[in-house]
Amino acid sequence: MTQIDKIFTKAPRLMRSMLAATIVAITGMLTACDGMIYDEEGDCDPYYKVRFRYDWNMAFADAFPTQVLSVTLYVIDDATGKVVWQKHEAGDALRADGYMMDVDVAPGRYSLVAWCGEGHRSSYYVDDAELKTDLSCHIAVGGHTEASDPDTHHVKDDLNPLFHGKLDAQEFPDEQGVHVYTVPLKKNTNDIHVVLQQLSGEPVDASEFSFQITDNNAHMAWDNELYDPEPITYHAWWVQQGSADLEDDPDAITPPEKAPLPASRTLSSFSAAVADLTVGRLHKDSSTRLNVYKSNGERIISVPLIKYLLMVKGHYRNMDDQEFLDRKDDFPLTFFLDEGLRWTDSYIYIHSWKVHVQHTDL
């Protein structure tokens, strides 16, 4: 005789009836949940969660908790193409270990689109849209301010970081439990650092130069592709004077303030003009151009930026060009000037690579 049989035999009739009803109810619950109880949610309904991952970078590591401070997720019904749900979250919640966004939709088949980063609600704006195809993102700073080219959009401020992500055709099942979906992100904003140094070592006055990058990347569609090639000019948002002391003995490691220099050693001071620009998504097929002007309006540097950046992929030379541009978001370039403060166009440094320039039409 089993333990339950013993209990039933000894229990009064009323108690046996109540106990039987309780067992039937519990059995029904376990059957409905396929024998599982979900303590986290407390019932057997389906629950949907979305995590975001930003490892589309040169470190190939997830930097979402440290770099992405704001997210807006759009859920699109694949059958109609309509945005059926959206949610915005920002701040400390995103830095929490294991952060995921709760998504409240009925079971169905959906695609996910995300615009993220501080930039998507400041430097950029996303259209209010009922359809997926209208979830476009546009640059929001600057204006048509230059009388010389009134049809060009000008950006004179630093751009806050902008990220994009999408996940197509996902089944949200009508099954109990927690269902997790991961949206991969790409960064759309890039930092360009331009250094001008005179070969003679003479001081370079930063106020004598202006720095611009021209492109047509002001508008991005729901899938992050560029469209509507409106001309846009990015101006340097920070220009400063820089200098460095260089010792002529490359093997010297003792700082001069720690020990006197031998008579055979000298120190040289090199000055440079340093400019920082932030630009939108770089595309391998865009005619992006870097221009540097003297204060009298003379253009001393004009180079096809994308072409030059792709010359120095280095250890990533087998990587697809667009993947390289999407993963890398920081590009330093150094140009050397002659005594007339014009670019000595025989070579430049990009990243830490020396690029020999072929004297062809740039």
CATH at residue 349: 2.60.40.2090
Q: Which helix (H) or strand (E) holds 29?
A: helix 13-32
Q: Note the pLDDT of residue 309.
A: 94
Domain contains 81 = yes
Q: Could you give the CA distance from residue 212 to residue 45 in angstroms, rounded to a whole number?
A: 55
Q: Note the pLDDT of residue 199.
A: 77
Residue type, 63: A
CATH code where residue 108 lies: 2.60.40.2100
Per-residue pLDDT of the chain (362 residues; tens, 9 = 90+): 545 455 545 555 545 454 444 444 444 444 445 444 444 445 678 999 999 999 999 999 999 999 999 999 999 999 999 999 999 999 998 998 899 999 999 999 999 999 999 999 999 999 999 999 999 999 987 654 454 565 678 999 999 999 999 999 999 999 999 999 999 999 999 999 999 988 777 788 999 999 999 999 999 999 999 999 889 999 999 999 877 655 554 444 444 443 444 444 344 566 789 999 999 999 999 999 999 999 999 999 999 999 999 988 888 999 999 999 999 999 999 998 887 787 776 667 787 666 656 544 55
- Are 167 and 240 in the same domain? no
- Are 56 and 167 in the same domain? yes
162 with 217: CB under 8 angstroms?
Answer: no
Domain contains 195 = yes
- Are 247 and 314 in the same domain? yes
Q: Could you give the CA distance from residue 64 to residue 54 in angstroms, rounded to a whole number?
A: 5
Domain contains 143 = no
Domain contains 240 = yes
Residue type, 72: T
- Are 305 and 332 in the same domain? yes
Domain contains 252 = yes
Cβ neighbors of 255 (< 8 A, separation 6 or more) are: none
- In terms of residue numbers, what domain contains 20? 3-32
Q: Note the pLDDT of residue 35.
A: 44
- Are 280 and 205 in the same domain? yes
- Are 198 and 211 in the same domain? yes
Q: Could you give the CA distance from residue 115 to residue 137 in angstroms, rounded to a whole number?
A: 8
- Are 314 and 179 in the same domain? no
- Are 169 and 79 in the same domain? yes
Domain contains 15 = yes
Q: Could you give the CA distance from residue 24 to residue 117 in angstroms, rounded to a whole number?
A: 52
Domain contains 139 = no
Q: Could you give the CA distance from residue 185 to residue 56 in angstroms, rounded to a whole number?
A: 7
326 exposure class (CB count in 10 Å sphere: 0-12, 13-18, 19+): buried
Across 236-345, the runs of DSSP E, i.e. the strands, are 238-247, 267-279, 289-294, 299-304, 330-337
Q: Note the pLDDT of residue 248.
A: 52
- Are 168 and 297 in the same domain? no
- Are 208 and 335 in the same domain? yes
5 exposure class (CB count in 10 Å sphere: 0-12, 13-18, 19+): exposed
Domain contains 118 = yes
Q: Note the pLDDT of residue 344.
A: 77
- Are 233 and 300 in the same domain? yes
7 DSSP 8-state letter: H
Q: Note the pLDDT of residue 19.
A: 44
Q: 302-324 burial string, b = 16+ CB within 10 Å, else e?
A: ebebbebbbebbeeeeeeeeeeb
Q: Could you give the CA distance from residue 61 to residue 64 in angstroms, rounded to a whole number?
A: 9
Q: Note the pLDDT of residue 201.
A: 74
Q: Note the pLDDT of residue 342.
A: 79
- Are 25 and 63 in the same domain? no
pTM listed for this prediction: 0.81
Cα dist. 63→135, 150, 221, 222 in Å? 25, 39, 24, 23
Count up the domains in the chain and report the number: 3
